[in-house]
């Protein structure tokens, strides 16, 4: 088995879909402690998690994005993101939440997996 496949196993979810329940303040605070920023939306209760990452170059940024794509597919929850050479900008919010475009457990779970993907990528344990 390829060593990357072993690492990716930790990014995969056991269940295929979590309920889009509101994220707890504790979970949001934990994400902020890991470098995420909470950005308020235009309407009451709307928010998104935001993170900017810089890698050594395009190849490393792309490897990171590939890991995130696998995790996002497993969660069935995608990021809003952009990539310019070595930089990746990520926004997480749940459009189908009770309050549209607010933070849910799905955003927290994807943020955790994005942080894992970042750690794997920066460790150099990627193709």
Asked if residue 17 is part of any domain, the answer here is no
Asked if residue 13 is part of any domain, the answer here is no
pLDDT on residue 95: 86
Asked if residue 11 is part of any domain, the answer here is no
pLDDT on residue 9: 58
Work out the angle at residue 49's Cα, subtended by the Cα atoms of residues 4 and 53, and round it to the nearest 5 degrees: 50
pLDDT on residue 113: 98
Asked if residue 86 is part of any domain, the answer here is yes
Asked if residue 38 is part of any domain, the answer here is yes
Q: What is the pLDDT of residues 15-65, one digit of tens each?
A: 444 448 999 999 999 999 999 999 998 887 889 999 999 999 999 999 999
In whole angstroms, give the CA distance from residue 68 to residue 60. 13
CATH number of the domain where residue 62 is located: 3.30.1360.20
Asked if residue 6 is part of any domain, the answer here is no
3-state secondary structure of 9: helix
Structural domain harbouring 56? 25-123
Q: At what angle do helices 25-33 and 105-122 cross, to 10 degrees?
A: 20
Asked if residue 3 is part of any domain, the answer here is no
* Number of structural domains found in the chain: 1
């Amino acid at each position: 088995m390829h060593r990357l496949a072993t690492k990716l196993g930790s990014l995969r979810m056991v269940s295929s879909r979590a309920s889009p329940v509101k994220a707890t303040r504790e979970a949001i605070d934990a994400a902020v402690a890991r470098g995420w920023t909470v950005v308020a939306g235009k309407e009451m209760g709307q928010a998104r998690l935001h993170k900017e990452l810089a890698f050594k170059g395009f190849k490393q940024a792309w490897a990171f994005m590939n890991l995130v794509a696998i995790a996002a597919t497993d969660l069935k929850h995608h990021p809003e993101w952009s990539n310019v050479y070595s930089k990746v900008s990520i926004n997480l919010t749940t459009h189908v939440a009770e309050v549209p475009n607010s933070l849910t457990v799905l955003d927290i779970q994807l943020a955790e997996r994005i942080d894992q993907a970042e750690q794997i990528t920066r460790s150099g344990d990627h193709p």
